[in-house]
């Protein structure tokens, strides 16, 4: 397994340190995969730059200790790998093909990890990626209703997607335990969740905080979720049954 600095998490060795040649090959592979996706008829594509996977490992100071052009003390410096991928993909698919990038503060290796502790840092992180060619930022939170910087705009302030949209001007997708009465992490332990009220979601969407909402586990247990929301039948929404994951196996 290749990684920026041979680390899967802070002080946790795993993987081979990527050479600059490895990085160039990886960037080219992303671009080729994107071109193939367009050729095969896909309408869009999403790059996974979140949750502690490879692109995110370059973002994170806990896993990127490089001293070359792909490392650095600032999030802007550590974003070069992602920006190179985005530019290469954009060149491969052209200007009229929507490109989504998923990003997160939290990691599988550290649920409380934060790449940006202020709006300024978030701008330095995300703005160059939008400039490189990202159309939509898919902003993953564990709980979408939590404010990203409550010290600035309070407990009902903008969430991650809201701040990303405000700071970059890009369209954003919000996600994280949507429609669940408990944190989606409980599913990893085999736990289910009841259906949750969507008032908070409606309020945030009505004020144009973000443009789209992504739903995962609720759809696994209620295939008609979107139809029910659209028709106002929210009282009949189902929660998430962990046993439904077995249907996908």
| Average pLDDT of the segment spanning 204-221 | 91
Question: Band of the pLDDT at 149, cuts 50, 70, 90?
Answer: very high
Indicate whether 186 pLDDT > 80.
Answer: no
Q: Work out the mean pLDDT of the chain and round it to a whole number.
A: 93
Least confident of 21-30, 79-88, 165-174, 217-226: 217-226
For the chain, the first-to-last Cα distance in angstroms comes to 25
Q: Which of 130, 26, 51 has its CA nearest to residue 87?
A: 130
Q: Residue 185 — very low, low, confident or very high, per pLDDT cuts 50/70/90?
A: low
pLDDT of residue 183: 65
In this prediction, residue 128 has a pLDDT band, given cuts at 50, 70 and 90, of very high
35 exposure class (CB count in 10 Å sphere: 0-12, 13-18, 19+): middle
The average pLDDT across 218-231 equals: 86
The predicted structure's pLDDT at residue 106: 96
The domains found in the chain, sorted by start residue, are: 2-218 (3.20.20.70)
Q: Using alpha carbons, select from 187, 197, 185 the residue that is nearest to residue 221.
A: 187
Q: Scanning the structure block, which residue is given the tokens 């209620």? A: 222
Phi first, then psi: give them for residue 91, nearest 5 degrees. Answer: -65, -40
**DSSP symbol at 18:** P
Residue 42's alpha-carbon distances to 33, 45, 67, 99, 159, in angstroms, are 12, 7, 38, 11, 30
**pLDDT score of 233:** 87
């Amino acid at each position: 397994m290749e990684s920026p600095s041979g680390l899967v998490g802070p002080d946790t060795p795993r993987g081979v340190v990527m050479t600059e040649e490895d990085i160039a090959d990886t960037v080219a592979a992303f671009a080729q995969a994107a071109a193939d996706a367009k050729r095969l008829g896909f309408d869009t594509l999403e790059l996974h730059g979140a949750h502690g996977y490879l692109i995110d490992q370059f973002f994170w100071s806990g896993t990127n200790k490089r001293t070359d052009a792909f490392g650095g003390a600032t999030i802007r410096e550590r974003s070069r790998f992602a920006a190179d991928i985005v530019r290469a993909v954009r060149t491969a698919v052209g200007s009229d093909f929507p490109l989504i990038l998923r990003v997160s503060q939290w990691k599988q290796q550290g649920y409380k990890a934060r790449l940006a502790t202020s709006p300024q840092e978030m701008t330095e992180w995300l703005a160059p990626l939008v400039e490189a060619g990202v159309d939509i930022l898919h902003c993953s939170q564990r709980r979408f209703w939590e404010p990203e910087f409550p010290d600035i705009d309070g407990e009902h302030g903008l969430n991650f997607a809201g701040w990303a949209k405000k700071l970059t001007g890009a369209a954003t997708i919000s996600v994280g335990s949507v429609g669940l009465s408990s944190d989606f992490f409980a599913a990893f332990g085999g736990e289910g969740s009841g259906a949750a009220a969507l008032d908070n979601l409606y309020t945030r969407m009505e004020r144009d905080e973000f443009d789209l909402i992504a739903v995962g586990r609720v759809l696994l247990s209620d295939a008609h979720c979107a139809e029910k929301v659209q028709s106002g039948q929210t009282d009949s929404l189902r929660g998430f049954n962990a046993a439904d994951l077995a249907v996908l196996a």
